[in-house]
Structure 1
Amino acid sequence: MGLFTVPEARAELVRLRPVLDELVAVRADAAELAASLNPGGTPTELGGLPELKGAQARLDELMTTVQRTGAELKGFAPLLVDFPADLDGVPVLLCWLEGDTELAWYHRLDLGFAGRRPLS
């Protein structure tokens, strides 16, 4: 996949939001199901091992959907999605973190998340 422009990445994020929202919901269900299956775990109305396996399969599908767009899923809890881009000749990753209302951050490839800066 190629590089995203800022408008392209923002548009892709809008298209991905339902997928990302479902990913967050299924992630929470899977965590609850897994905890309930641990020795001494609290039973849940969500089900048992078959439902956990189903949730894990759905998580794999959702993560694949994100990655097929050319975006990179860098974090799972919290979700962190990067869009490869070029700003003024510098390779960067446009960066969305779960809880962000829009795509408003970037960082250089060599700096990682710690080098996040706001898009102007």
Structure 2
Amino acid sequence: MNFARRPGLPGVDAENPITLTVTGRVSRAVVPDLCAELERALAGPRGAALTPGAAVDCDVGGMIRPDLTAVEAVARLGLVARRAGHTLRLRRVPPELRALLDLVGLADVVTLEEGPEERVPGPY
């Protein structure tokens, strides 16, 4: 499991200097590390540059077999962002994680960005 801030990614809001990337299998042991990394980012100069209420991006497209531990990680990251006066926006959400977030009611707590492959085409 890897996580890092990666500025300048395609599709990332240029006004949001913080992006947390979560890849691999998320275990309970790494959830506190993820939260600490987000807290450090929000407390640093890049976090101070965010406008109040701005979304903090979390790219979860590289998660492997999301389960309830991944849901716990998302919930705790959302709390960290909220305590700092921001919201958590998930990018590239795997269908399995999206279904779990819907099931436990967290889909309404964090923003789930729809990627190009997830959007339902409208009538022509």
- Same fold per TM (> 0.5)? no
Higher RCO, 1 or 2 (CA under 8 Å, sep at least 6)? 2
Q: TM-score, normalised by structure 2?
A: 0.33
Give the alignment's TM-score, normalised by structure 1: 0.34
Q: Which has the higher helix share?
A: 1
